[in-house]
Structure 1
Amino acid sequence: MLKPRIIPSLLVQEGGLVKTTRFGEPRYIGDPINAVKIFNEKEADELTVIDIDASTQHKEPDYRLIERLANECRMPLCYGGGIKNLDQANRILGFGVEKIIVSSLLIENPDMISKMAAYLGNQSVVVALDLKKPMFSKKYEFSIYNGKKKTGRFSEELVRTAIELGAGEILINSIDRDGMMEGYDLDLLVNIQSHCTVPMTILGGAGSIDHIREAIAKLGIVGVAAGSLFIYKGVHKAVLINYPNREVKTDLYNNYG
């Protein structure tokens, strides 16, 4: 039976685990390998790891780190950052990573997404849309390179385009909500879901289990990803890796339909 997925999202920078706020102010948290070990023990449904510098600095993916993460990880692993061609994507999947995330390719080389989907399988290709609502606009604009470059393209159109190119999953990330821990942008997500015919994962804004519960109740079977929620504890944001226990997860899984 299909059910929602509750997904820790880890950001890495220069090999270290960091957390951002609205895609800026990266705060060093620790060793990503140690975080993976803890999420293994807590039986996380899936894990997403994104290198926030690889694309912006036009660097190759950090294959050594990816291989270490994949070797340690006992749950499905999704990796993004710096993936520009089929050889890179295939090498990363060869480590045991289940899915790769691409973003700027949607604007700069959309044909490559189709090639990846055809060769690797649609289910292995995730297209991430980092979205921000410009002032006085009703539409959400897509930005690339860790939010640093605006594209002038908007969410509904790009969801359809990504799916037509062969994406097997869409990751929707709210720039405005990133690290704020004030809840997901449900208006945005409900609208996106109405255009999305493949699995969808949401990211940006979760600050409590109730935010996850609310999202699942509203959206149903989606991937519900969070960074701050699973890294910080308390109002002072002490670093403490955490994840819902089995009883809480069961309750969340049943919170739709």
Structure 2
Amino acid sequence: MLRSRVAPYLLLRGKGLVKTQKFGNAKYVGDPINAVKIFNEKEVDELTLLDIDATASGRGPDLTLLKDIAAESRMPLCYGGGVQDAEMAARIIALGYEKVSVSHAALERPALVREMADRIGRQSVVVTIDVKKEGLLSGKHKVYSRNAKQAHKVDPIDFAMKCTELGAGEIVLNSIDRDGMMQGYGLDLARKLRGSITTPMTVVGGAGSIDDLRALTNELGPVGAGAGSLFVFKGKYRAVLISYARP
């Protein structure tokens, strides 16, 4: 029987980890190697690391850091940030990562998804779609990239369906509005996405409690529940404390 996956999402900036709110106000939360060691002990389902500055600054992944992280990890790893071609994706897989995520590069050149699937296998290709509501009442969402700085004239559901046709093995729906706010997931768009694709999907942005994880999985069934703040902060003053729990 399939069950939902619960995945911490860690944001890399330089050699450290940060946590954002609505893709801004980044707060330093620690060293990635130490975080991986802690999550090892907590036996997490999988761990995603996103270098939030790589694409925006026009550089590739820090392969030395990624190698060090993989050497410490005893859990499945996914990496995203600065991946522009299938060869780089293959190099990351060779370091010990199970999945490679792309966002801006797939929006700019969707054929990359097929090239990655051919090179590393469909099961290792993740496309992350960062979305933001166009207005409080419209219910429509716009797709963004480059840390929510660049808007794209594509519908998030249509883009997700196109990516799965091209070979994406997983779609990640990431809410910019809810990032770091810890007020619950945006279920409306997630529900539409779940009804439009048959590939695995993960929802990120807004989890603030175990009840939020439960609400997501109760609503959508077996999906990935991604969270950042929930697993690195404790209490109303957001003291840094790495934790992990399943619904």
Cα distance per residue 1:199-245 (max 9 Å; x no partner): 0011000000110011111111001010000000011110000011x
Identity %: 50
Structure 2 residue aligned with 1:240? 241
The CA deviation at 1:152 is: 1.7
Equivalent positions of 1:144-183 (< 5 A) are: 144-183=145-184
The CA deviation at 1:137 is: 3.0
Whether 1:229 and 2:230 are equivalent positions in the alignment is yes
* Counterpart Cα distance in 2 of 1:36 and 1:60: 22
The CA deviation at 1:99 is: 0.1
What secondary structure sits across from 1:75 in the alignment? coil
Cα distance per residue 1:111-146 (max 9 Å; x no partner): 121111012110000000000011253321110112
Aligned positions, number = 246
After TM superposition, which residue ranges in structure 1, 4 or more long, deviate above 6 angstroms?
Answer: none
Q: CA RMSD in A?
A: 0.9
* Counterpart Cα distance in 2 of 1:106 and 1:240: 34
The CA deviation at 1:107 is: 2.0
Amino acid at match of 2:152: T
Whether 1:212 and 2:213 are equivalent positions in the alignment is yes
Structure 2 residue aligned with 1:85? 85
Equivalent positions of 1:119-134 (< 5 A) are: 119-134=119-134
* Counterpart Cα distance in 1 of 2:193 and 2:124: 21
Given that residues 172 and 201 in structure 1 are in contact (C-alpha distance below 8 angstroms), is that contact kept between their aligned partners in structure 2?
A: yes
Where does the alignment leave 5 or more consecutive residues of structure 1 unmatched? 253-257
* Counterpart Cα distance in 1 of 2:186 and 2:26: 22
Structure 2 residue aligned with 1:255? none
Amino acid at match of 1:128: T
Given that residues 79 and 99 in structure 1 are in contact (C-alpha distance below 8 angstroms), is that contact kept between their aligned partners in structure 2?
A: yes
* Counterpart Cα distance in 2 of 1:158 and 1:112: 14
Amino acid at match of 2:80: G
What secondary structure sits across from 2:138 in the alignment? coil
What secondary structure sits across from 1:153 in the alignment? coil
Amino acid at match of 1:157: D
Structure 2 residue aligned with 1:13? 13
The CA deviation at 1:106 is: 2.3
Given that residues 129 and 171 in structure 1 are in contact (C-alpha distance below 8 angstroms), is that contact kept between their aligned partners in structure 2?
A: yes
Q: 1:9 to 1:179 in 2, by over 3 A?
A: same
TM-score relative to the length of structure 1: 0.94
Amino acid at match of 1:185: G
Where does the alignment leave 5 or more consecutive residues of structure 2 unmatched? none
